[in-house]
Structure 1
Amino acid sequence: MTRPAAVRFAAPDAEALATLEGRIAVLAEPGARLDQTARRLNRLTRGAVERAVASPGFAKLKRGEAMTLAWPAGVSAEAVEVVNLPPRPTVAEARKAGGTLGRAAKGAALTVIGANRRLLHELAFGAALRGYAFDAHKSTRGEDNGDSPAAITLWSAKHEEAEAAFAPRAAVAEGVFFTRDLVNEPANILTTTEFADRLVALSDLGLKVEVLEEDALEKLGMGSLLSVGQGSASPSKVVVMEWSGGDRDAAPLALCGKGVVFDTGGISLKPAQGMEEMTMDMGGAGVVAGVMKALALRKAKANVVGLVGLVENMPSGTATRPGDVVKSMKGDTIEVINTDAEGRLVLADVMWYAQERFKPAGMIDLATLTGAMIVALGNERAGLFSNDDTLCGALEKAAEAEGEGAWRLPMGDAYDELLKSDIADIKNVGGRAAGSITAAQFLGRFVKEDTPWVHIDIAGVARQSKDLPLSPKGATGWGVMALDRLVADRFEG
């Protein structure tokens, strides 16, 4: 499915500069002397590189941005990208530069010189992330059509060190790509069964994968989850993925994801405009899947279990109606006021099952849960809600380190008043006011008192309608990097 840029490292070969095809990128800094390989390229291009670096326009570029020299004389390359990057960039600057190159490499090979830089592996990581393209359903797939990524080669005297440092980042990139593929996939392709099959395939990486079908879910009492999918021909499922890389007796971190493969809103039908984007309503499950793949690929020394509830929310003669009362696995009864507030019904049972079965050291759920989250934070940050300052603080720190925006919002007993039902233990919506908070409060009813828990509402960040520095338009894979870092920082070693 994925067409990520192929990234490799190699020793500098100045003699090959004149005949390189595609594009050449030079890492340089305003006012600084070019390195030996870059000086060779400068001579071949009759001083064009040096003039570019000395120009006022280059000095005005932000770090990580590039100036393009099209069809330079003296070389076969179609362009030279002169990138503003100091010898000791920050992680964000290195990734941004990589993203610039990943975007420039679309449809052509690209060779990066002057790459004796600190954090070269982070530059390569940025290039890989931005070099992604989802073209599984294009008739021109595989053709050199300017949209497909190509190989990026980074020349460095310390190429072996850079390649070794890049290996775990490459594993994380594969996890991000897996998430993006799942979120970008149309719902007629990514049914609940197809989704489950793709997760079962991860067992080849060493994950233990189990699929719970509807009969098993009924026996477990997951009436809340099953109520969401009962109007669809696609069977509801729960998939459990276990990675046991830590101490045998260590309690795992549990990651729970909302996997609504398509959300019409059910009987509380959504407006037609924009409904096509509801293929991404399984974004939380997609992130969980991507994290589990990354952890397996890099052989993480931690115990992590990922659980996803896969359903399709459709209107039909068998669909749940507004006003129905359903019973959760926990035993709480829920009055369904709005069938379009379905994600919390899925997660309630998945989270309770995760705690009952695995007794986790902590639990994090992810969901494209509320439109109110987009109203509150736009498309820049995910919303965090938690009952545990330590776990939430560690997640905030990890998200900041990975450049994935997140912001913690409040919770409190007063919001529970909005969820009181006249005929059941709780209702599934609390009105327009504080919509994201009342959704978190609902989920909090299904968290045991001794379980550290964070809820992440990714409604605004799972998919973007514009290109970003490290991802093209469409699915972003937000959360894979932050959760992988959280595992590395808090649950490994």
Structure 2
Amino acid sequence: MEIRFVTAGGGDVVAVMATDGGELLAAGKALDTASSGRIVKAMKAANFKGGAGQVADILAPDGVDFARVLVIGVGKSDAADGMAVERWAGHAVKRVLTSGAEKLVLQPDALPSVSKAEAGSHAAMGARLAAYRFDTYRTKLKPEQKPSLTAVEISMDGPAAAKARAEKDAAVVEGVFFARDLVSEPPNVLYPESFAERLRDLETIGCDVEILEPAAMERLGMGALLGVAQGSSRPARLVAVKWNGGSKGSKPVALVGKGVTFDTGGISLKPGAGMDEMKGDMGGAAAVAGAMKAIALRKAKANVVGVVALVENMPGANAQRPGDIVNTMSGQTIEVLNTDAEGRLILADAVWYAQDKYDPSVLIDLATLTGAVIVALGHENAGMFANDEDLAHAITAAGQAEGEPVWRLPLSAAYDKLIDTPNADMKNIAGKPVAGSIVGAQFIKRFVKDGTPWAHLDIAGTAWKSGPYEDPLSPAWATGYGVRLLNRLIQNRYED
């Protein structure tokens, strides 16, 4: 779908804004005047109140050169921000994507906290994100199920500034789409080796990519990571993707992602119902991959390394058993009491490797780690844990700005003692159903070196959302959560 910025656009459908109370903004008022008040009359007939996401779909109004006018609410004007504009544009695209219309015209207006240029660039971002589909394996789509929309024109006075912003944002959209594609792929197509090869493709946009195979990981002592993988016929991979866009010699930001390409639970087998969703248990690795693509495409002036641990957790004849004790690259030992608490095992070695190899200025890991975080926070916020106040505040601000919110949860010695065991340096579960997300974070924290600012994002509730979901910027499955947050964090805090 093509995005164009124009000073005056014409097409099949036009979308304008209205605020809470059904108040049209400037572009909508102009259309209402041209239609001799028919737009407002139709809004009243539809009981349109201007709430965020509410749509009045007006067909063929006289005096307007469009077949349809979409009046879409952005909510209260003093609370509407850039994300409100994105969702406004997203609702418009979702409404017409398969409708038969070929061109949509968006007429964004400035809001109290959003300039006209910002509104234009956010509209482009929202339109792009809303148009995403994963149709790779759908061979029998009917014509009316296929997207008809080929172009979106953003019509506004002086579009140059908005266009420049939108061109930079397009790189971030590509990163989000990369992450969504990875999470959407079936596990017979995306497994550790094939995932690693897709990351190798990032070399074409300027990244350095290093892929470790099992023999190399064994030499490094990664017994926790390899232990998870040993039940599968698909061998593990650990991939490091480097972007050197900052000052030479400056320490990188390290991003670490959990990449379990399919998680059966191993010997501690998951229930069969819903197990198909475990193809998405590599959402953390996908977020890191998407962030690396975004920062490389926009040529970020920062040094960043993304490390992803890729395994398949299967209950094979050689699978890890509950009660096994494994060594880690750090030298610490782990008693594995539950093979379905595998994400923290692979992160133990990946987190240590990222620090040992790259000596980063800051370390952030992302993982679809626990179902407990969904119980606590639902699908609205990722759980955040951090050992550094400034980093925690920066992540919170980045997530808020990009529509990828986090909610901070605690760490303390009282929780940490729940993973002590007389048989090894630690065990991988508490052994009782308490504070599941916190226990997972405390486990990872034991592999963070003293003095390293670190944050852990448990994205189990936000990486994918099964079933109907009303966010117009996201499909019903893979969200690409984390790409925008990480990109904004690096842009705000770590670029030269």
TM-score by length of 2: 0.91
Is 1:67 the equivalent of 2:56?
A: yes
Which residue of 1 is the match for residue 108 of structure 2?
Answer: 115
* Amino acid corresponding to residue 6 of structure 2 in structure 1: A
Q: Distance in 2 between matches of 1:116 and 1:397?
A: 25
Which residue of 1 is the match for residue 252 of structure 2?
Answer: 252
Q: Deviations over 1:338-376 (max 9, x none)?
A: 000000010000000000010000000000001111111
8 Å contact kept, 1:31–1:53: no
- What is the SS of the residue equivalent to 1:24? strand
Residue 150 of structure 1 deviates from its aligned partner by 3.7
1:169-318 → structure 2 map (5 Å cutoff): 169-318=169-318
Residue 458 of structure 1 deviates from its aligned partner by 0.5
1:16-415 → structure 2 map (5 Å cutoff): 17=10, 20-21=11-12, 23-28=13-18, 30-31=22-23, 34-35=26-27, 39=30, 43=34, 47-52=37-42, 57-58=47-48, 60-63=49-52, 65-72=54-61, 78-84=67-73, 90-107=81-98, 108-115=101-108, 117=110, 118=116, 119-140=119-140, 145-146=145-146, 150-415=150-415
8 Å contact kept, 1:116–1:158: no
8 Å contact kept, 1:65–1:96: no
Which residue of 1 is the match for residue 472 of structure 2?
Answer: 469
Which residue of 1 is the match for residue 453 of structure 2?
Answer: 452
Q: Distance in 1 between matches of 2:138 and 2:60?
A: 30
- Give the alignment partner of residue 478 of structure 1, picking from 474, 477, 481: 481
Q: Distance in 2 between matches of 1:308 and 1:330?
A: 17
* Amino acid corresponding to residue 38 of structure 2 in structure 1: A
Question: Over the residues paired in the alignment, what is the CA RMSD in angstroms?
Answer: 2.3
Residue 293 of structure 1 deviates from its aligned partner by 0.6
Q: Deviations over 1:397-439 (max 9, x none)?
A: 1111222121111111122221122221111111211111111
8 Å contact kept, 1:133–1:148: no
Which residue of 1 is the match for residue 113 of structure 2?
Answer: none
Q: Distance in 1 between matches of 2:415 and 2:167?
A: 46
Residue identity (%): 47
8 Å contact kept, 1:26–1:81: yes
Q: Distance in 2 between matches of 1:142 and 1:163?
A: 35
Residue 47 of structure 1 deviates from its aligned partner by 4.8
Residue 134 of structure 1 deviates from its aligned partner by 1.0
Q: Distance in 1 between matches of 2:366 and 2:226?
A: 19
Is 1:11 the equivalent of 2:7?
A: yes
Residue 179 of structure 1 deviates from its aligned partner by 0.7
Residue 98 of structure 1 deviates from its aligned partner by 1.4
8 Å contact kept, 1:105–1:131: no
4+ aligned runs moved over 6 Å, structure 1: none
* Amino acid corresponding to residue 312 of structure 1 in structure 2: E
* Amino acid corresponding to residue 436 of structure 2 in structure 1: G
8 Å contact kept, 2:415–2:442: yes
Q: Distance in 2 between matches of 1:277 and 1:123?
A: 32
* Amino acid corresponding to residue 450 of structure 1 in structure 2: G
Task: Give the count of matched residue pairs.
Answer: 480
- What is the SS of the residue equivalent to 1:399? helix
Is 1:489 the equivalent of 2:479?
A: no
Q: Distance in 2 between matches of 1:148 and 1:257?
A: 36
Q: Distance in 2 between matches of 1:168 and 1:144?
A: 33
Q: Distance in 2 between matches of 1:428 and 1:63?
A: 44
TM-score by length of 1: 0.92
8 Å contact kept, 1:292–1:306: yes
- What is the SS of the residue equivalent to 1:186? coil
* Amino acid corresponding to residue 152 of structure 1 in structure 2: V
* Amino acid corresponding to residue 10 of structure 1 in structure 2: V
Q: Distance in 2 between matches of 1:114 and 1:330?
A: 56
Q: Distance in 1 between matches of 2:442 and 2:148?
A: 44
Residue 51 of structure 1 deviates from its aligned partner by 2.9
* Amino acid corresponding to residue 128 of structure 1 in structure 2: R
8 Å contact kept, 1:105–1:150: no
